[in-house]
Amino acid sequence: MDRRDFLRRSAIVPLIPFVFDRSFAASLFSAVEKTDESICKSKFKLAVSRNLAAMPINDVIVEIGKSFIGTEYAAHSLEEEGAEHLVVNMRVLDCVSFYENSLAIARCVKLKKYSFDDYKTELQLIRYRGGIINGYPSRLHYTTDYWFDNEKKGILKVVTEELFGIENLEPIPTPINFMTSHRSSYAQLSNKDFFDEIKKQEEQIGKRGTLFLPKRNIHLFEKKITAGSLIGMTTNTPGLDISHTGIAVLADNGSLHLMHAPDIGSEVQITESPLHDYVSRHPKQTGIIVAEALEPK
């Protein structure tokens, strides 16, 4: 729609009286939730039909991730007005919600828990600090903090140092303060208490000294990365730790690629080029960190 079209259509809007219908809003929400529930059940049906529960969790993550290929990308898919609550959205995905949903469903498959409520329980456990929803700051916003908390919960293990050797790594630049230094971009940060809490979290993240493998060396160590591993791309954007995420997958020729939700206007896909080539072509990406999911107990 061009601008003239938009203005013509917009001119009609004031002539139409609008009355907020709570019952309509409730039915719309119910329809959306049912769509997500249907998508979730289709993933579980796939898992049962292929006996994915018998596979290592990394392989399950890959297979569930592949079932999302073709799903449309949408930024800020978790942002909704009102009090913080668990947002379920498998209809559209961003780079984080893609791997997050793949991990949550894979954990359900390994535990042989196949209800929509089981999925939501896993999703909340992964997405929130300590698995508890307690306002906007309880959601894990920065990837390195997200992985740090999930390592404490026994859900995954950050293996960057183990795979590549500390002598080949560099620290992510500090300070980490992208959210608080871009306060106007985050509606919830208009709340002073939330702003202050996020600021404290940023300071804690910066003190951890997270290490990453510079992109100039990825090709030297790529074969050490296991398919199904979670990949975080570090960035030279000031104040930010990770700018993009995805799941490692192997091509038929054995080369390592990235399965991800790339950007606006695209959909979940596997990169045509190997991981090291993909990262090298993005000037704002500086390297990678890697985590592996742990078998759920």
Run means of pLDDT, 10 residues per run, the chain, 297 residues: 34 38 49 92 98 98 98 88 94 97 98 98 98 98 98 98 98 98 96 98 98 98 97 98 98 96 94 97 97 97
pLDDT of residue 26: 46
pLDDT of residue 246: 98
Which distant-in-sequence residues (6+ apart) come within 8 Å of 235 by Cβ?
241, 242, 243, 244, 284, 285, 286
CB count, 10 Å around CB of 166? 9
Place of tokens 């993005």: 282
**Is 34-293 assigned to CATH 3.20.20.140?**
no
Kindly report the pTM of this predicted structure. 0.89
Rounded-to-10 torsion of CA 203, 205, 210, 213: -100
Domain ranges of the chain: 34-293
Q: Which tokens is 71 given?
A: 């799903």
Backbone angles phi, psi at 69, to 5 degrees: -55, 130
Nearest to 290 by CA among 159, 179, 183: 159
Rounded-to-10 torsion of CA 85, 90, 96, 102: 110
